[in-house]
Structures are given as structure tokens and as C-alpha cells.
Amino acid sequence: MAGLNKVMLIGHLGRDPEMKYAASGLAIANINLATTEKFKGEDRTEWHRIVVFDKLAEICGQYLKKGSQAYFEGRLKTKEWTDKDGNKRYTTEIVANNMVMLGGRDAGQGRQQRPAQQPTPEPGPSHYDGPPLDDGDDDIPFSRRG
């Protein structure tokens, strides 16, 4: 059986999305998302690095702002690089391929809430080209229907 690499988060943006463009013109949005859970009466906040590509990145850059609540779905990806001192460094981020603006009209900058989906642009060792894993039996409003 093949592995599964899927992340689903609902949280608030810690700052406005950081937009960049590759030499090819591909839009890239870097997003910091906070998720908060209660544990023994105390709030515990985790920060997540999310990267979004292409049209979905442009939508994020245009409509999401610091404090916006959003749902992101994607996969984990670990990057490796060498710092200036020659040490290997690693960072893990979520490569998102689905986003839903939450929190009402003000949080969505006046646009109707709707899912925005795109295929992940970069196939790699963890890329799955098989049929969708969703059995389609649930009534979750943000699931993709074929």
C-alpha cells in the first residue's frame, strides 16, 4: 500500500502573505498560519509554514490578510540546505493545493467563500499520481467533487 502525506489546518494568518514570483512568472505565496488548541485550560499555539503556488497563490495574496482565518490542505515537504557555516539545515513546510477562506465577509475581503484548488506543480518522490483517495461518502462542504 502506498503512503499518505496529507495535512489539513484551520488557523489564522500571523501576517499578510509574502508574495514572490519565479523567473518563469509562477506566483508563490509564503504564509505563516497559527493553530491554537486548548490543553488543560491553557492555549497552545503552533506556527506552520505554508507555501502556495500559481493561481491559488495569487488568490491568497489578494484576499488573505494578517488575522484572516482559513482552511489549508496540502502535503508536508522537508527542504535541506547548507548554511554559511557549512552546516546542513532542514525546514518542513506545507505545500498547499487547497484553501478555503473562513470567518465571514470581512475576513474574506468581501468575496463569497468558496474553495480554491489547484494541482501541486512540482512532482517529486512523494508525488501521488493514482486515483483520488477520497471515497466521496462524506458531506464535508470543502471536499472536491469530481
Cell 490542505, residue located = 73
Q: How many domains does the chain have?
A: 1
Residue 38 to residue 47: CA distance in whole angstroms: 15
Q: Which grid cell is 91?
A: 525546514
Residue 95 to residue 73: CA distance in whole angstroms: 8
Is residue 119 in some structural domain?
no
Q: So what's the pLDDT on residue 105?
A: 64
Range of the domain at 69: 7-101
Predicted confidence band at 77 (pLDDT cuts at 50, 70, 90)? very high
At position 36, the amino acid (one-letter code) is T
pLDDT in tens, 118-127: 555 554 444 4
Report the candidate in 100, 36, 44 with the shortest Cα–Cα distance to residue 72: 100
Phi, psi of 57 (to 5 degrees): -65, -45
Is residue 133 in some structural domain?
no
Is residue 121 in some structural domain?
no
pLDDT in tens, 82-129: 999 999 999 999 999 999 999 876 654 444 445 555 555 554 444 434
Is residue 111 in some structural domain?
no
Helix (H) or strand (E) holding 59: helix 54-63
Is residue 67 in some structural domain?
yes
DSSP codes of every residue in 89-134: EEEEEEEEEEEEEESHHHHTTTPPP-EEE---S---TT---SS---
Q: Are 14 and 33 in contact (CB under 8 A)?
A: yes
Residue 49 to residue 92: CA distance in whole angstroms: 8
Is residue 118 in some structural domain?
no
Query: DSSP assignment, residue 86?
Result: S
CATH number at residue 64: 2.40.50.140
Q: So what's the pLDDT on residue 58?
A: 97
